[in-house]
Structure 1
Amino acid sequence: MPDLPELPEVLSDRAVGPGDRRYPRLRSTYTKVHSPELILMPRTASEVAAAVVFAGASEMPLSVRSGGHGLSGRSSNDGGIVIDLSELDQIEVIDRDARIVRIGPGARWATVADALAPYGWAISSGDHGNVGVGGLATAGGIGWFARSYGLTIDHIRAVDVVLADGRQVRADADNEPDLFWAMRGAGDSVGIAVAFEIEAVPLPDVGVAQLLLEADRNGDTLRRWSEHLADAPLELTTNGIMFSRGGSFLLQLTAVVADGNLKLAKPLGKLGLRLVDQHAQLAPYSALVPTGHLHPNMGQQRSISTSGLLPTLTRGSARALMDVSAHPTGPLLQLRSVGGAINAVDREATAYPHRHQQVLAILSEFPPSGGAELDAAWRAVVPYVDGAYRNFESRPTERTFRQAFPGVAGDRVSKLRDHFDPAGVLRRQT
């Protein structure tokens, strides 16, 4: 292991090592237990700059963590340095008329929703309150209002960034436009976001419906669901989980209606073999990502995941997804409706190029199953996959990078990461 350089004085009381009582609560992600050599917890952009310069000089593996779930596992490591941004968690309304909110990367979406509730505003974000702002707002941001309001990155108006050499840069449409492009979808490749300025949307109580459907083995239920959502009003977004039990299949759907019109969710009950159960209510956005979701991440949900984006499901792709769900290892298959407002954005406007797909499928395996079992279960759907959402990839490689950033987008991201981080400091992973 390389020797650590001398720690800058500004970080002397911001360092946590294996002997520190705080270390057990900071070492890991939600899905993996890690053992970094050093965790740095900066409070300001200047301290982030000092931390990344220090890490660059060390030549050790480096992870940057906003403090949330970190499902990809990249936000910690073994034997390296972690820059933990959880104390950069400010939430400030800086322009009430334009609904611009300045948010630190260490904030979590539950606290953001809670802070915006008195204004009657929301920001399209992830679907769990413990998700960190930084990890989601640099990768995309598929959440409860994906079809209604698009991705989180589609509402970002500016990003304050610390580059790998310690420079502090503001990126927006007029200043550093290439960096601004990359930070919205591939941000972890080019810099460390230390603040986002995001436009919130006015959002009164929303409709939330929970439906449990019996699904057929051939995939007709999934195909009907996909076809329905492809043409549904933009106010409707759904997330689903497939369960396989003793040869029967259940699709649990959570439907969110942005304008509160729960009638839009009623047709969903007719998509399966039968409707097993349903509940519906009006609720504030903060009820979807409540502060009760907040928890430390200590590797308590060990898993390995991958994902794929698909067009509107066909008989073939729907059947393949049912094959995945029926795999003997019992994997968890999640299905999310995308499209809508996401696809209204030009594919070249941000580093997230997936602006035509309609479904995001996420597969997870849990111990004792691992990568081999995940690959075996996922194999059926691979021929239908048309892109990937990188925050759900537990084993990032050049291949998965190109799935997330195909073609011209990938070439541009690669060029920009070499420009802004020529030494590859932010790409040092174990």
Structure 2
Amino acid sequence: MSSNELDVHTLRAQLDGGLVLPGDPDWDGARQAWQLTVDQHPEAVVLAASANDVVTAVNAARATGLRVAAQGTGHNANPLGPLAGTVLIKTSAMRGVVIDAEARTARVEAGALWGDVTAAAAPYGLAGLAGTAADVGVVGYTLGGGLSWLGRKYGLAANQVVAAEVVTADGVLRRIDAQTEPDLFWAIRGGGGSFAVVTALEFGLVEVGELHGGTLFWPIERAAEVLHAWREWTASVPDEITSVGRLLRFPPMEEIPEPVRGQSFVVVELVSLLDGSETEAALASLRALGPVMDTVQPCTPQALAEIHMDPPGPVPGTGDGVLLNELPAEALDAYLSVAGPEADFPVLSAEIRHLGGGFAPRPAQGGAVTGFDAAYAVFSVAITPVEAAVKATHRGLDALAEAMRPWTAPTGYLNFAERAGGVPFADPGTLDRLGRVKAQYDAADVVRGNHPVAPARA
């Protein structure tokens, strides 16, 4: 199938947004994902401006034997592949955010970014369970689960979803919740984007009072000392503190701030919901290690997006991650043998996130993934502008995964899995049920997700 089999003139006339085809002057920009390493070549790109555009695109694709893939930003676009035989539906123009302060909920359109939600909710003393970067799309992040700086207290972002507006493979726009289309509603909360194209989400917000957040920096040569101390510290910190132990090797790029440009550090990043005195007490043992920089201070919800130092725009990157059942001293030693300061590990960032607390599974909340039977999450990412760098990074990621294998959890996290091949779910019955939901709503597999779920066979 190719785009010339689409009824291009009719499709373009029906769209509130736009249609871009191969050969058009704006083709390369339209097909580009945030993840610049990915070279997407769909049959056509629909620049959706409304839910009606999504309905129109799904119907047009299905009628010509094509598939559809929705993309707000494309932070985790690599598993989608080159998109042959697929109409790419870009939702980035659908940025509407409505806050109901009394109900403590937000309704966001499919292209909304976490920065949009945070800015809209903050004046009411509310916040969503945002990721570490302001420019990450709310929908993709939430469908994959959603690890937030506030998550050890409040759990996964997917658990907060109360309703969704979706276009199913038959071209029908549906509002789904726990009472209406409950199986589909269950599937999208942590099961990924294979089941329908989401055009809007409604989710709960949390009240935010006093916040503290920031980063402690040490020279990377002290990685073993600092990360072992951090590992021991995580065993007793309250759920109000979420933290990351991280190795950073900053390249000498102008985009990187002068204090850290071209240097390497071991850092502990954290956010605390405790008051000032309690936060100070909790940090005392880490500060006793004498960090060379300490940015932990009272902050706003908007400032949380600055802590992780994510790039402010699209980059060519390559990354991947695993979950760990536990992190005993020998596991951290194995980690450092591959990723530590004396290793030739070609990545910018190698991190270990502390889970537990609110990140534990919450089956009563009803989604496909409500938490993780894991204690830590490992994720590493490199800047890879050329293919040789991609290959070198994959070799490093494979070596780290092998080193962590004795402690690796039997489940994965969709948003940290940046290579094709699928992510296991903790309970085999979950994947079976997801397959049945896929078969019920999309037996022909029209809707593509970056971590696909195949329709169950009858």
Q: Which secondary structure state, in structure 2, belongs to the residue aligned with residue 401 of structure 1?
A: coil
Unaligned residue ranges in structure 1 (runs of 5+): none
Which region of structure 1 is more displaced relative to structure 2, 40-49 or 19-28? Answer: 19-28
Structure 2 residue 435 is the aligned partner of structure 1 residue 417: no
Which region of structure 1 is more displaced relative to structure 2, 277-286 or 30-39? Answer: 30-39
Query: Alpha carbons of 1:273 and 1:428: their partners in 2 closer, same or farther (altered >3 Å)?
Result: closer
Structure 2 residue 305 is the aligned partner of structure 1 residue 289: yes
Deviation at 1:421, TM superposition (A): 1.1
Structure 2 residue 324 is the aligned partner of structure 1 residue 316: no
Q: What is the match of residue 30 of structure 1?
A: 34
Structure 2 residue 58 is the aligned partner of structure 1 residue 52: yes
2:123 to 111, 118, 121: 118
Whether contact under 8 Å (1:129, 1:294) holds in the other structure is: no
2:113 to 108, 119, 144: 108
Q: What is the match of residue 417 of structure 2?
A: 393
Whether contact under 8 Å (2:16, 2:50) holds in the other structure is: no
Structure 2 residue 171 is the aligned partner of structure 1 residue 166: yes
Whether contact under 8 Å (1:214, 1:273) holds in the other structure is: no
2:95 to 89, 99, 103: 89
Q: What is the match of residue 260 of structure 2?
A: none
Q: Distance in 1 between the 2:57 and 2:173 partners?
A: 13
Whether contact under 8 Å (2:362, 2:370) holds in the other structure is: no
Q: What is the match of residue 335 of structure 1?
A: 352
1:162 counterpart letter in structure 2: V
Q: Distance in 2 between the 1:164 and 1:254 partners?
A: 42
Q: Distance in 2 between the 1:20 and 1:206 partners?
A: 48
Q: Distance in 1 between the 2:338 and 2:280 partners?
A: 26
Structure 2 residue 14 is the aligned partner of structure 1 residue 10: yes
Q: Distance in 2 between the 1:108 and 1:127 partners?
A: 12
Q: Distance in 2 between the 1:319 and 1:218 partners?
A: 10
Q: Distance in 2 between the 1:120 and 1:421 partners?
A: 40
Structure 2 residue 220 is the aligned partner of structure 1 residue 206: no
Deviation at 1:267, TM superposition (A): 4.4
Deviation at 1:427, TM superposition (A): 3.2
Query: Alpha carbons of 1:14 and 1:275: their partners in 2 closer, same or farther (altered >3 Å)?
Result: same
State the number of aligned residues.
420
What are the superposed Cα offsets for residues 3-35 of structure 1, whole Å, 9 maximum, x if unpaired?
Answer: 532133313852023444543433222222433
Q: Distance in 2 between the 1:218 and 1:88 partners?
A: 43
2:401 to 331, 354, 378: 378
Query: Alpha carbons of 1:128 and 1:52: their partners in 2 closer, same or farther (altered >3 Å)?
Result: same
Identity %: 26
Deviation at 1:237, TM superposition (A): 0.9
Deviation at 1:78, TM superposition (A): 5.6
Deviation at 1:219, TM superposition (A): 5.1
What are the superposed Cα offsets for residues 261-302 of structure 1, whole Å, 9 maximum, x if unpaired?
Answer: 364265446359653331222111012237x989664xxx22
Query: Alpha carbons of 1:108 and 1:79: their partners in 2 closer, same or farther (altered >3 Å)?
Result: same
1:184 to 171, 189, 193: 189
Q: Which secondary structure state, in structure 2, belongs to the residue aligned with residue 360 of structure 1?
A: strand
What is the CA RMSD across the aligned residues, in angstroms?
Answer: 3.1
Q: Distance in 2 between the 1:343 and 1:175 partners?
A: 27
Q: Distance in 2 between the 1:205 and 1:348 partners?
A: 27
Q: Which secondary structure state, in structure 2, belongs to the residue aligned with residue 324 of structure 1?
A: helix
1:256 counterpart letter in structure 2: V
TM, length-normalised to structure 2: 0.82
Deviation at 1:41, TM superposition (A): 1.6
Structure 2 residue 356 is the aligned partner of structure 1 residue 357: no
Q: What is the match of residue 253 of structure 2?
A: none
Q: Distance in 2 between the 1:303 and 1:222 partners?
A: 25
Query: Alpha carbons of 1:45 and 1:369: their partners in 2 closer, same or farther (altered >3 Å)?
Result: closer
Which region of structure 1 is more displaced relative to structure 2, 418-427 or 213-222? Answer: 213-222
Q: Which secondary structure state, in structure 2, belongs to the residue aligned with residue 208 of structure 1?
A: strand
Structure 2 residue 339 is the aligned partner of structure 1 residue 325: yes
Q: Distance in 2 between the 1:375 and 1:280 partners?
A: 34
Q: Distance in 2 between the 1:354 and 1:97 partners?
A: 27
1:74 to 59, 75, 80: 80
What are the superposed Cα offsets for residues 55-88 of structure 1, whole Å, 9 maximum, x if unpaired?
Answer: 2333345421013533545397367421011122
Structure 2 residue 295 is the aligned partner of structure 1 residue 279: yes
1:254 counterpart letter in structure 2: E
Which region of structure 1 is more displaced relative to structure 2, 56-65 or 107-116? Answer: 56-65
What are the superposed Cα offsets for residues 213-267 of structure 1, whole Å, 9 maximum, x if unpaired?
Answer: 457889564354234324312211113321479xx98421221112443642654
Whether contact under 8 Å (2:192, 2:449) holds in the other structure is: no
Q: Which secondary structure state, in structure 1, belongs to the residue aligned with residue 129 of structure 2?
A: coil
Q: Which secondary structure state, in structure 2, belongs to the residue aligned with residue 98 of structure 1?
A: coil
TM, length-normalised to structure 1: 0.87
Q: What is the match of residue 256 of structure 1?
A: 271
Q: What is the match of residue 141 of structure 2?
A: 136
Whether contact under 8 Å (1:160, 1:170) holds in the other structure is: yes
Deviation at 1:415, TM superposition (A): 2.0
Query: Alpha carbons of 1:196 and 1:82: their partners in 2 closer, same or farther (altered >3 Å)?
Result: same
Q: Distance in 2 between the 1:412 and 1:283 partners?
A: 42
Q: What is the match of residue 255 of structure 2?
A: none
Q: Distance in 1 between the 2:107 and 2:390 partners?
A: 41
Q: Distance in 1 between the 2:265 and 2:419 partners?
A: 29
1:69 counterpart letter in structure 2: H
Whether contact under 8 Å (2:322, 2:417) holds in the other structure is: no
1:285 counterpart letter in structure 2: P
